[in-house]
């Protein structure tokens, strides 16, 4: 029987990206809304790794399925790494992506001489129900633009400028982000890790 892998995210931007990044996996990929789960888990850890593990373990134990979760965010050097693990909540409850990236732009506007270097980080955790959990990470370097540009992607993509492409992530053609993003790097490594975890688990079941 084909095993199911639950991709545990409520973020529609991540769902879109994982639909491509997990294509061709020898597992039946399913999603939180497909299995009828709307509840969220409080992200109480102070590292991406800690929160990715917390999410993967939580949904694996809730569903009994192998579970893939990511914790990710933007680190701006001049803001001492903020918004970091708080990226999703940076402008408080009920705020929009635009509220959050405008807050970052406002904070940098108050530091006109500061460097605008930044990076996205993503940590993917894969949890076996009642068993092992492991992680892999990815990063993408860039600089914070002075104004938002582009309409693709999600989150902070409109203000994340990549000098090599002379474009923000939100201006890139669809599909290009998935060839080089922090999430693409973490996902490629985590796919390999998942293969090893599955063969170890199957070996143990014989
Ligand atoms: P789940 O926990 O349900 O997966 P979330 O949005 O709460 O969804 P995170 O806690 O990992 O996920 O927060 C990630 C935030 O970081 C996300 O909401 C964006 O604001 C930002 N972010 C992460 N990856 C991004 C990307 O590729 N492009 C733009 N912004 C990104």
Q: Which run of H or of E encompasses 31?
A: strand 28-31
For 155, other C-beta atoms within 10 Å of its C-beta total 21
Summarised one tens digit per residue, pLDDT across range 129-185 is: 988 999 999 999 999 999 999 999 999 999 999 999 999 999 999 899 999 999 999
Burial of 6 (0-12, 13-18, 19+ CB in 10 A): buried
Residues annotated catalytic, as ranges? 71
In this predicted model, what pLDDT tens digit does every residue of 86-108 receive, in sequence order? 999 999 999 999 999 999 999 99
Domains recognised in the chain with CATH numbers: 3-205 (3.90.950.10)
With a cut of 90, say whether residue 49 has pLDDT above it.
yes
Both tokens assigned to 127: 């949890």
Please compute the mean of the pLDDT values over residues 46-56 and round it to a whole number.
Answer: 98
Q: Which residues of 178-194 are buried (b: 16+ CB within 10 A; e: fewer)?
A: beebbbbbbbeebbeeb
165 lines ligand 1 (CB under 6 A): no
Q: Can you give the pTM of this predicted structure?
A: 0.96
**CB-ligand 1 contact for 88 (6 Å cutoff):** yes
Q: How far is residue 157's CA from residue 134's CA, in Å, rounded to a whole number?
A: 27
């Amino acid at each position: 029987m084909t095993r199911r892998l639950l991709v545990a995210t409520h973020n529609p931007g991540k769902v879109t990206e994982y639909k491509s990044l997990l294509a061709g996996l020898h597992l039946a990929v399913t999603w939180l809304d497909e299995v009828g789960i709307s509840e969220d888990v409080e992200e109480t850890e102070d590292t991406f790794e800690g929160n990715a593990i917390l999410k993967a373990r939580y949904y694996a134990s809730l569903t009994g399925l192998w579970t893939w979760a990511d914790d990710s965010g933007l680190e701006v050097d001049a803001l001492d790494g903020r918004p970091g693990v708080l990226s999703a909540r940076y402008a408080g409850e009920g705020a929009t992506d635009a509220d959050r990236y405008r807050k970052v732009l406002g904070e940098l506007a108050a530091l006109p001489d500061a460097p605008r270097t930044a990076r996205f980080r993503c940590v993917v955790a894969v949890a076996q129900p009642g068993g092992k959990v492991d992680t892999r990470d990815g990063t993408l370097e860039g600089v914070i633009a002075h104004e938002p540009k582009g309409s693709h992607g999600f989150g902070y993509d409109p203000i994340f400028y990549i000098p090599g492409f002379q474009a923000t992530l939100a201006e890139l053609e669809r599909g290009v982000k998935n060839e080089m993003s922090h999430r693409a790097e973490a996902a490629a490594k985590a796919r390999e890790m998942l293969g090893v975890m599955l063969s170890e688990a199957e070996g143990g079941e014989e």
